[in-house]
Amino acid sequence: MTARDELLGRSVAWFAEHGVGDTSLRTLAAGIGTSHRMLNYHFGSRAGLLGAVVEAVERAEQDALRELVATHEDPFEAGALFWQHVADRAAVFAPLFFELSTHAMRGEPHAALLRRWFAEGWSDALADGYRRLGVDEDRAATLALQSLAMARGLLFEVAVTGDRAAADTAMVRWTAMVRRELEAP
Amino acid sequence: MTARDELLGRSVAWFAEHGVGDTSLRTLAAGIGTSHRMLNYHFGSRAGLLGAVVEAVERAEQDALRELVATHEDPFEAGALFWQHVADRAAVFAPLFFELSTHAMRGEPHAALLRRWFAEGWSDALADGYRRLGVDEDRAATLALQSLAMARGLLFEVAVTGDRAAADTAMVRWTAMVRRELEAP
DNA sequence: GTCTATAACTCGATAGAC
DNA sequence: GTCTATCGAGTTATAGAC
């Protein structure tokens, strides 16, 4: 366990408990028993620290999705459970997720790793799921992209409006639409 | 034309030309012929200024959508044209849009207006379109939410990965899915 | 109401000593 | 790795001119 990993773990725990908000490096540092100078030393910048936090959370979430897909006969059931899991954490991590993704959109160097993480990890995991249902390569790629877009868009809605029920309904009906598409010729 | 409106118009134009990035108030002020003190005076804060910019852009976009829906027989055709319009501007305004939406997610006071703008404007406009196709109230609301989520999710993908072609394909196929849903009993 | 000028405070980032 | 400045920038506040 390096000093960096130790600080990263404590930062994730601190954010999970106190929320992310506009917490300053000084406030966070005081909260986890270090100095803002040390956070800059280990992570290069505030954005570098937040990027590492998001990457750690995303890695855990992607692992959770693969685990659910692997342990459930019905991929759609795994998807439903995963949506619940993600939406439950929306209030805490969605703002940080969308904030950091704007850094990736602007091509900022510290967000390069995050950019690849956003771009490849989720699409690949979802496309795998659709291929296992016997969908051909081309359709699987599009369905994966659509499912990812739908999930992120609904996550956005939940985070902004707080209307979880409407988003849940939309997700259930989206899943039903895909089912019917796959059963049709 | 108040001084505030004048500065807002020049700010939007400046951002459209130079991009948003991490432009400082001082840089922007110098670029549009004022001082950073005046920007704070008229908009309250940097976030207040950016919020006003996003609101102005969103208002124009929502008006454009209503205009397209009103002038086209086929609402799906209007939707396709609008998607093109929005995706073309993704590189410039998507980062700012998602950044400001995180302020709304955190319930920051200066983003209160923006929050309502995000939450109500688009859903209402889209639900109107579906109702005009004879869809009942409950389904129209869900379809509007799904269409909004799909569009924002694909906009997110375009902004992060730059893969416009994949997003266009996903949008075309989404529209086809909805068409089939509405034709089925 | 609009604008200029100035100062103080916080925060992110950096340099240098140890 | 750690600590003590130090700087630029966003923000807020005050005083005052037009």
pLDDT, tens only, A18-46: 999 889 999 999 999 999 999 999 999 99
Residue in chain B lying closest to A148 (CA): B153
CB atoms within 10 A of CB B168: 16
Of A119, A150, A173, the CB nearest to B161: A119
Torsion B57-B60-B66-B69 (CA) sign: negative
Instruction: Please give the distance of CA A145 from its chain centroid, rounded to a whole number.
Output: 15
Q: Which residue is nearest to nucleotide D1 (CA to C1')?
A: A38
Please state at what angle helix A90-105 crosses helix A46-71, rounded to 10 degrees: 120
Q: What is the pLDDT of residue B121?
A: 87
For residues B50 and B59, what is the distance between their CA atoms, to the nearest angstrom?
A: 14
Of B98, B119, B154, the CB nearest to A149: B154
Partners of B152 on chain A (C-beta within 8 Å) are 149, 152-153, 156
Q: What is the pLDDT of residue B120?
A: 86
Q: What is the pLDDT confidence band of residue B22, given thresholds at 50, 70 and 90?
A: confident
If you average pLDDT over every residue of chain A, what do you get?
Answer: 94
Q: What is the pLDDT of residue A9?
A: 97
Tell me if B12 is assigned to some domain. Answer: no
Tell me if A136 is assigned to some domain. Answer: yes
Q: What is the pLDDT of residue A108?
A: 87
Tell me if B1 is assigned to some domain. Answer: no
Tell me if A39 is assigned to some domain. Answer: no
CB B60 within 7 Å, strand C: no
Q: What is the pLDDT confidence band of residue A185, given thresholds at 50, 70 and 90?
A: low
Give the structural domain span for B136. Answer: 47-183
Mean pLDDT calculated for residue range A13-20: 93
Mean pLDDT calculated for residue range A115-139: 92
Tell me if A152 is assigned to some domain. Answer: yes
Q: What is the pLDDT of residue B157?
A: 97
For residues B183 and B185, what is the distance between their CA atoms, to the nearest angstrom?
A: 7
pLDDT digits (tens, 9 = 90+) for B63-79: 999 999 889 989 899 99
- Report which of A182, A175, A149, A180 is spatially closest to residue B183, judged by C-alpha positions: A180
Tell me if B14 is assigned to some domain. Answer: no
Q: What is the pLDDT confidence band of residue B109, given thresholds at 50, 70 and 90?
A: confident
pLDDT digits (tens, 9 = 90+) for A135-172: 999 999 999 999 999 999 999 999 999 999 999 999 99
Q: Which amino acid is at B150?
A: M
Partners of B170 on chain A (C-beta within 8 Å) are 142, 145-146, 149
- Nearest nucleotide (C1') to alpha carbon of A24: C11
**CATH assignment at residue B69:** 1.10.357
Q: What is the pLDDT of residue A64?
A: 93
For residues A93 and A9, which has the higher predicted lDDT (pLDDT)?
A9
Q: What is the pLDDT of residue B18?
A: 87
Number of domains in chain A: 1
Q: What is the pLDDT confidence band of residue B20, given thresholds at 50, 70 and 90?
A: confident
With an 8 Å Cβ cutoff, are B105 and A94 in contact? yes
With an 8 Å Cβ cutoff, are A170 and B105 in contact? no
Q: What is the pLDDT of residue B185?
A: 65
For residues A63 and B133, what is the distance between their CA atoms, to the nearest angstrom?
A: 42
Sequence-distant (6+) residues with CB within 8 A of A2 are none
This prediction's pTM: 0.95
For residues A167 and B102, what is the distance between their CA atoms, to the nearest angstrom?
A: 18
Tell me if A82 is assigned to some domain. Answer: yes
Tell me if A33 is assigned to some domain. Answer: no
Which residues from B are below 8 Å from A when comparing CB atoms?
A: 21-22, 94-96, 98-99, 101-102, 104-106, 115, 118-119, 141-142, 145-146, 148-154, 156-157, 159-161, 166-167, 169-170, 173-174, 177, 180-181, 184
Position A76 pLDDT exceeds 70: yes
- Nearest nucleotide (C1') to alpha carbon of B33: C3
Most A CBs within 10 A among B120, B160, B169, hence the mutation to make, goes to B160
